[in-house]
Amino acid sequence: MRQSIFISGAAQGIGAAIARLFYQQGYKVGIYDINVDQAQILADQLGPHAKAGKLDVSQYDQWQVALGEFVEWAGELNILVNNAGILYSGDFEKTDIAAHHRTININVNGVLNGCHAALPYLKKAAFARVINLSSASAIYGQADLVSYSASKFAVRGITEGLDTEWQKYGIRVLDVMPLFVQTSMVKDMDAGSIKNIGVDLTPQDVAHQIFALAKAKGTILTATHTPVGIKTKVMYQLSSISPQFLNRLSNLVLTRKS
């Protein structure tokens, strides 16, 4: 029996790259997105073992419907990837408060909704894993990306808490922490960090890391957090050993606008 993967925000970018890779590896793939037409185009391109559907991750009832129809089609839910997310950049006070609230609603509540609605199905599966999309922005709070960075800190906390709590069910909850990725999300982004650090990662880089986590044995030796890319790995390691004032100083340098 083919294992299955359900991906939120899967119509484009990182989500679409995940869908393509897992389909190529023999999985049944759920491509769910608020843009259902684009999701359906991708599913049609992939073939009969791909299913598209509509999902606004901020709406819990839509999660219930989407997961129910997916499991009925796939047989069981093995891997949930909470990928859907948005980003607003620029000066905190110049960003409309509704945009800050929308960031939290999608990036944080979307993950809470997904994990909560998926658990009954994950508990029934022979193998089950959750992989969340966190970010290098969850290493240290980022200027010009305050609500986005805060949302990814929340994802990091959700991941850590559930990875511990759901041990009783044999379910690992992991995340990946990429730096900036070549997607439409970072196009025209107004933040000093992207200008100073650059955009080196591709959606395929992130997808391959997620596939590695999906295949890894679920022992305690599998790290809860996985930085993606050399720059992120260096930042992640340094943040754990550097004094707080040095972490702040390095972020001031990296996020300074010219």
CA distance 153 to 147: 10
Selected catalytic residue, list 23, 27, 32, 152: 152
In the prediction, which pLDDT does 130 show?
98
| Residue 8: partners with Cβ closer than 8 Å, 6 or more residues away | 15, 32, 33, 55, 57, 81, 82, 83, 84, 110, 114
Sign of the torsion angle spanned by Cα atoms 13, 177, 53, 188: negative
CATH architecture of 4-254: 3-Layer(aba) Sandwich (3.40)
| Count of positions (residues) in the chain | 258
CA distance 119 to 151: 22
Indicate if 168 belongs to the active site.
no
Indicate if 27 belongs to the active site.
no
In the prediction, which pLDDT does 195 show?
47
10-residue mean pLDDT series, the chain (258 residues)? 95 96 98 98 98 98 98 98 95 96 98 98 97 90 91 97 96 90 51 48 92 83 82 61 45 46
In the prediction, which pLDDT does 180 show?
62
Tokens of 48: 């009969």
Please state the pTM of the whole predicted model. 0.86
In the prediction, which pLDDT does 252 show?
42
Selected catalytic residue, list 27, 32, 140, 148: 148
CA distance 155 to 162: 11
Where do the structural domains in the chain lie, given as residue ranges?
4-254
In the prediction, which pLDDT does 142 show?
84
